[in-house]
Amino acid sequence: MQFYLATSFLFPRSLRLRLFSLCFIATHLPLVGYLVWGFAGGRIMLGEFLFLTAMTVVGTGIALIGIGALLTPIQALASALQPGTTKSETLPEVGDMIRSLYTGLDRAARETGDRIDRLHRAAHEDALTGIANRRGFLAHLAQRPDGRKKGCVALIDIDYFKRVNDLRGHEEGDRVLVAFATRLSALVRRADLVARWGGEEFAIFFEDCIEDEASWTLARIAAQLRDRPISEVHGRPISFSAGIARWNGADIGEAIARADAALYDAKQQGRDRISRAMPSPQNA
């Protein structure tokens, strides 16, 4: 380490050039020694000098090429550690120091990338249903280009879900949540986004839709839940209430608040229904 620090003045930003410089100096020491000895004794012979010079140049070239080739795996590893790189080369089983370094750093990079991916999924994905959670829903909308930030937001609440847990147990409640999330995801378009908002509440963003289209889609989902129930309570199929609000790409929080108010109205009107929010001043 001390030698590494002591030679840092030679090309401080390039280890390759530093090694090349040290190699060049080391391979020319015999030639320098011959010149000093020759001049001191007056015995320099032109043929010997030219031959020694040529061999020194050849040796230097071989050494520089060899060092460059030996440093290639480290350069490849440095490139593999750059963001966006998903694959690195595999070195043969030779067991030397560079391979050990390469393997260790490559493994660490892969594990770190996997850990980051897991943390990102945990932060943006609902563990039970496998769909986006509230944070993931909002992050996805925020990352959309401006041209894809218009449509309708719906908040959905499973009716009398507490009775499912109370009468049939929490395992059945979890199964209902998973089945409901699956049903929602299967019956919307690929461009739409389904998320678990929290508890038994879900959210859907209907891209480039007006209220009529979003309401029709939700009504179709409600009809299928009646025809093919995911569960029943007191002999009645599981149903839902929903509130829909138009979003023009501005403040998503304002659109969600209006959808939540419409959902409250749907519950107050007897549940198992879809309510539309009042237009916002921006859309009026």
**Mind listing the pLDDT tens digit for each residue in 20-76?**
777 777 777 777 777 777 777 777 676 777 777 787 778 777 877 777 776 676 666
- Residues of the chain with pLDDT > 70, as a percent, come to 76
Maximum average pLDDT range among 116-120, 121-125, 200-204? 200-204
Cβ atoms 106, 77 nearer than 8 A: yes
The larger pLDDT score, comparing residue 58 to residue 167, is at: 167
- Residues of the chain with pLDDT > 90, as a percent, come to 50
Show the tokens assigned to 227.
């025809």
Lowest-confidence segment of 25-39, 91-105, 133-147, 234-248 by average pLDDT: 91-105
93 is a catalytic site residue = no
Closest CA to 164 of 174, 156, 155: 174
How large is the angle between the packed helices 46-80 and 15-27, nearest 10 degrees?
A: 160
Alpha-carbon distance of 110 to 28, in angstroms, equals 43
Question: What class is the 134-276 domain?
Answer: alpha beta
Residues of the chain with CATH 3.30.70.270: 134-276
Identify the active-site residue in 89, 125, 171, 200: 200
Which pLDDT does position 94 carry in this prediction?
44
Alpha-carbon distance of 279 to 284, in angstroms, equals 6
